[in-house]
Amino acid sequence: MTSLSDLQKLLPAVLIWIMIFKSCLSQDENNTASMYDHYNYNGTMDYDTFPQLCKKDLNREFRRWFMSTFYSIICFLGLVGNLLVILTFLYFKRLKTMTDVFLLNLSFADLLFSLSLPFWAANNMAKWVLGLGPCIAMHTIYKVSFYSSMFLLSFISVDRYFVIAKAVSAHRHRSRAMFLSKVSSAVIWVMALIFSIPEMTCTTVKNNTCSPYSSTADNLRVSLQTSQIVLAFALPLLVMSFCYSRIVQTLCQARNFERNKAIKVILAVVAVFLLFQLPYNLVLFWSTVVTAKGGTDDCGYDNRLLYATDVTQCVAFLRCCLNPFVYAFIGVKFRNDLLKLLKDFGCMSQERFFRYTLGRRRSSGATDTETTTTFSP
């Protein structure tokens, strides 16, 4: 027979077992209740209560035809325009000023960027099958050329500021100008490479897509996009705004027949930069904010943000084929050298060359300048 002391020893164990059993029953009831939450009153499954994946099929289809078409146009125009600038500089050995050196490096940067666009188009149209090495090379070339071109635009504005607004001090250091321009260009390329290292090391092939981001909501993406907005847009915009505003003030005080034309050129340069770069950076900024908050559950909103990013990015990429027209072809001397280059290469008849150049000289008169950028940026 069991004694009273033995029953007292078993009592705590029985109570603990009863509590565990009751907890399991309540958990089963909760699981059962949560399962029945997906059923409606008719006893059928209610699929609206389940979380749904955001479908991006339309966005992928839009990327296939829109971005591939746009990238092809930008690649062709960028290759033609920048090759003409490089050939003109090298053929006539026109590296006479700091801005000429910066323009030559800018054309090389935009040319590299144009060469990477076919791979970008292939990445958006189909699965990435080239492997990790070409994937890293594509993003590295893009980032290095992107940062270097933005820095070069800033240095061009700084050089124009010293030449026009600080003419006395610029003339004093004229003998060292070419050396400083070459050193500055080398520093710019090194800085662009350094700023590209984080994306270079993080680039990977995931889900058959070449991308530097491991997911759509991570700290890496936020930091990379933030650094791009600050270094490749806000900083160049600040430098260009200061330099060109001071140049305009200096030109307004001068009594020169080229003053109004030079001011229009400067305003056109700033307007083109804002028109093509501002929309993309605004969308990129808002996309960074959304990513920092952990993303969005609104599928329609997410798709609209992707559409805005794709469209504004293509508009921003146009800079690589517009820079030759904004910075190089606008100079009278440079245009004449370009026409002579086309004539020497057999792309233009001698009669047409003389008819065009003589017509330009009669209409411009004494406004022809020896260098490309006496007043133009």
Q: How many CA atoms lie within 13 A of 23 on its CB side?
A: 6
Return d(Cα 325, Cα 79) in angstroms, integer.
13
Which residue in 372, 368, 371 sits closest to 357, CA to CA?
Answer: 368
Which pLDDT band, with edges at 50, 70 and 90, does 312 fall under? very high
Instruction: State phi, psi for 206 to the nearest 5 degrees.
Output: -130, 130
Which pLDDT band, with edges at 50, 70 and 90, does 158 fall under? very high
Please give the pLDDT value at position 103.
Answer: 92
Residue 144 in this model has a pLDDT that exceeds 90 = yes
Give per-residue pLDDT as tens, 342-363: 888 777 777 777 777 765 555 4
Which is more confident, 279 or 295? 279
pTM of the model: 0.79
Please give the pLDDT value at position 101.
Answer: 92
Please give the pLDDT value at position 169.
Answer: 72
Cβ neighbour number for residue 144 with a 10 Å cutoff: 22
Return d(Cα 247, Cα 245) in angstroms, integer.
5
Question: DSSP E strands: which ranges in the chain?
Answer: 204-206, 209-211
Residue 263 in this model has a pLDDT that exceeds 90 = no
Which pLDDT band, with edges at 50, 70 and 90, does 182 fall under? very high
Find tokens 């004539």 and name the residue.
343
Please give the pLDDT value at position 82.
Answer: 93
Which is more confident, 269 or 370? 269
Which pLDDT band, with edges at 50, 70 and 90, does 37 fall under? very low
Q: Return the minimum-mean-pLDDT range out of 112-116, 146-150, 206-210, 289-293.
A: 206-210
199-204 long-range contacts (CB < 8 A, ≥24 apart) are 199/139, 199/140, 199/143, 199/224, 200/136, 200/139, 200/140, 200/143, 203/132, 203/135, 203/136, 203/139, 203/140, 204/132, 204/135
- Domain 60-367 of CATH type 3.90.1300.10: no
Q: Is residue 120 a contact partner of residue 77, using CB atoms and an 8 Å limit? A: no
Which pLDDT band, with edges at 50, 70 and 90, does 245 fall under? very high
Domain ranges of the chain: 60-367
Residue 217 in this model has a pLDDT that exceeds 70 = no
Give per-residue pLDDT as tens, 40-66: 444 444 445 444 567 777 777 888 888
Return d(Cα 308, Cα 301) in angstroms, integer.
11
Please give the pLDDT value at position 47.
Answer: 43
